[in-house]
Structure 1
Amino acid sequence: MLPPIANRFVAGDSPAEALEHVRRLNERDVNGIVNLLGEHHDDRESVDADAAEYRRLVADIAGSRLAAAVSVKPSQLGLDLGEDVFRTTLAAVVDAAAERDVFVWIDMEDHTTTDATLDAFEALAREHEGGVGVCVQANLRRTRADLRRLADVPGKVRLVKGAYDPPADVAYTDPARVDREYRDLLEYAFDRYDGGIGVGSHDPAMIEHATALHERHGTEFEIQMLMGVREDAQYELAAEYEVWQYVPYGDRWLSYFYRRVVERRENLRFALRAVLTG
């Protein structure tokens, strides 16, 4: 059982708890992106176990008819053991999902994994004519070129500001500069992409900019936000736009919870209340 300090941001220990959370989201017109927590596996047994759970999760989603996708991390599926391990393991998950018409998102981790992640995404997206998406980070200096590269690749691209701390020679470190880059990259994507844009942001200004670009270009897009963060806004936005909530589950919650706490003062206040009252 998850401690009270974590259950705002994590749906539970089991896939059944995660899918029950998605069911409640669907009742409010929000879709779910389900993620088994875990990263940086350095042994094949852990990689294979998580990949097998994702394949079972895909089958459960297909059988439930929930509006849900799955999201995986490269280092969870073996990238730390080698790019060949990662691509083989990821392909098995994506193949199983494609057979059941379940979408797979590939999360982006630190900047050293970008090339391997994008190469795997492009190969699988072209093989399956979509059915898979990838995350790109606006704080990386390379992302403009990456968006140009991916413009004609079937599948989806999620744009986020970037949650890692890359060095200044590869990334913009000033928050205002990252905001400008995010806006510019949204403009490029809405202008050049046929659709499949994921706006991964809780920033009201960025969401407003995306909706204005949608009105201007007619490009299809979706808003993606995290479980436990601005959920009232998610429900309000879902009345007019396609909204997806990132729904993590599993007992490896500590590092994920820590990232959520340090991101926003509101999340820190929540954590302190949970400690004091739990």
Structure 2
Amino acid sequence: MVLPSIEKQFADSLKSIARNLEIKEYIQQSPELYPLFLSSAKRFVTGESREDGVSIGDQLVHKGYRISLEFIGENTINKEECVRAKDEFIALIKQCSNRGISSRISFDLSHIGLSVDPELTFQNLLEMAKEAQSHGLSLMISMEESAKTDQILSIYKRVVVEYSNVGVTLQAQLYRTLNDLNELLNYSGEIRIVKGAYQEPSDICIPRSDKLDQRYLELVDLCVRAGHQVSIASHDEAIYKQIIQRGYLQNSNVEAEMLYGIRPELCKQLKDDGLPVRVYLTYGVEWYLYLCHRIAEYPPNIYVAITDMIQGAKDTSKLY
């Protein structure tokens, strides 16, 4: 079924609001609104500091989960800020290694330079990949708006021939993704498959529907049959039912991955059943856009967000 029209309209509107810089700045500068929105964000974001992310990540690792960590940020338009973001990721890699945490490090290329200079992005990525490799960690490039897809895949293909510890994310909602995946299976990096959180033109993407679910499963099936490392990044219980029936999560090259704060009960169920589950954790001050996307992906989360504003954020880590 296609997402009900009212919920779809709400989700599309929220995605537009999320990218309105005036609204974002107003909330960030408001002494009344900022703490309220931060209370809601803490259901999905570990906190604003690196230590917040690493500490909660350490807790989840000891509970038997795999983890991904991300310093939130994207569309950085200042070269100095791109370099600072790269340095923060380097520091995150080192801190994980020092704490003995085998985390994957996830990020947007536009956080480390894509909106400024593709070559700067590539050099920053090379430095991160080298550092991660020296500590036995992996990197995962997130996918962004479709207008950036060609650049992201081009940079990924350049770096992965040197560093096989770098993976890339693909959005099932884009019609082009089937062709992209068939090409990327020739490269060694892990592939993470998501449905896609961005609002895209209807002529290039599949709406939330049974058709999108089938495309998602088709992409996973291609990776599994090719013996390629794949992360099934979804919160859709129907998707997991199919994945489990097909026995995919029994394969050493396949794992489930879910965002922190989304379906923790499903995460725990899969993990308790002995299946490999990775929890995707984020930290940083740029949580506004991330919060909007989490609500847009599942509109009923707006009620949870309002409740958190009124009652205060609960400790999400205890739900795992």
Q: CA deviation at 1:169?
A: 2.3
Q: Say if 2:154 is the partner of 1:159.
A: no
Residue 40 (str. 1) matches residue 72 (str. 2): no
Q: Residues of 2 paired with 1:11 and 1:216: CA distance?
A: 27
Q: Does 1:171 align with 2:205?
A: yes
Q: Tell me if the contact between 1:73 and 1:108 (Cα under 8 Å) persists in the aligned partners.
A: yes
1:27 maps onto 2:62 in alignment: yes
1:85 to 120, 125, 131: 120
Q: Distance in 1 between matches of 2:206 and 2:225?
A: 23
1:245 CA displacement:
0.8
The TM-score, its normalising length taken from structure 1, stands at 0.94
Call closer, same or farther: CA 1:266–1:168 in 2, change over 3 Å.
closer
- Equivalence for 1:205: 238
The 8 Å contact of residues 201 and 223 in structure 1, kept in 2 or not, is answered as: yes
Query: Is the Cα–Cα contact under 8 Å of residues 108 and 135 in structure 1 kept in the other structure?
Result: yes
Q: In the alignment, which residue of structure 2 is the partner of 1:196?
A: 229
Identity %: 25
1:99-154 CA distance string (max 9 Å, x none) = 111110100000111111112222222212x2111100001111111111011211
Question: How far apart in 2 are the matches of 1:174 and 1:277?
Answer: 32
Which of 236, 246, 267 aligns to 2:269? It is: 236
Alpha carbon RMSD of aligned pairs, Å? 1.8
* C-alpha contact 1:214 1:221 (8 A) present in aligned 2: no
Q: 1:222, 1:243 within 8 Å by CA — same for their partners in 2?
A: yes
User: By how many angstroms is 1:263 displaced?
Assistant: 1.7
Unaligned runs of 5+ in 1: none
Structure 1 position 266, deviation (Å): 4.0
Question: Whole-Å Cα distance in 2 between the matches of residues 223 and 180 of structure 1?
Answer: 17
Partner in structure 2 of residue 69 of structure 1: 104
Give, as a single letter, the amino acid of the residue that structure 2 aligns with 1:212: Q
Q: CA deviation at 1:47?
A: 0.3
Q: What is the CA-CA distance between 1:211 and the residue it aligns to?
A: 2.7
Could you tell me the TM-score, scaled by structure 2's length?
0.82
1:271 matches 2:316: no
Indicate how the Cα distance of structure 1 residues 208 and 219 shifts in structure 2: closer, same or farther if over 3 A, else same. Answer: farther
Find the partner of 1:254 among 288, 313, 320: 288
Q: CA deviation at 1:174?
A: 4.9
SS in 2 for 1:39: coil
**TM alignment of 1:93-112, pairs within 5 A:** 93-112=128-147
Give, in whole Å, the separation in 1 of the partners of 2:260 and 2:127: 27
The alignment covers a number of residue pairs equal to 276
SS, match of residue 141 in structure 1? coil
- Give the 3-state SS of the residue equivalent to 2:115 in structure 1: helix
Q: 2:156 aligns with which of 106, 109, 121?
A: 121
Give yes or no for the alignment of 1:142 onto 2:183: no
- Deviations 1:42-90, CA, capped at 9 Å, x for gaps: 1101100000000011011111111311101011011011211211111
Hey, what does 1:223 align to over in structure 2? 256
Q: Are 1:29 and 1:235, in contact at CA under 8 Å, matched by a contact in 2?
A: no
> What is the SS of the residue equivalent to 1:135?
strand
- Is 1:160–1:200's contact at 8 Å kept on the other side of the alignment? yes
Contact 1:222 1:244 in 2 (8 A): yes
How many Å separate the matches in 1 of 2:68 and 2:98?
16
- Given that residues 65 and 276 in structure 2 are in contact (C-alpha distance below 8 angstroms), is that contact kept between their aligned partners in structure 1? yes
How many angstroms apart in 1 are the aligned matches of 2:208 and 2:310? 35
How many angstroms apart in 2 are the aligned matches of 1:264 and 1:276?
20
- Cα separation, partners in 2 of 1:198 and 1:216, compared to 1, 3 Å: closer
> Paired residue for 1:133?
167
Cα distance, 1:253 vs. partner? 0.7
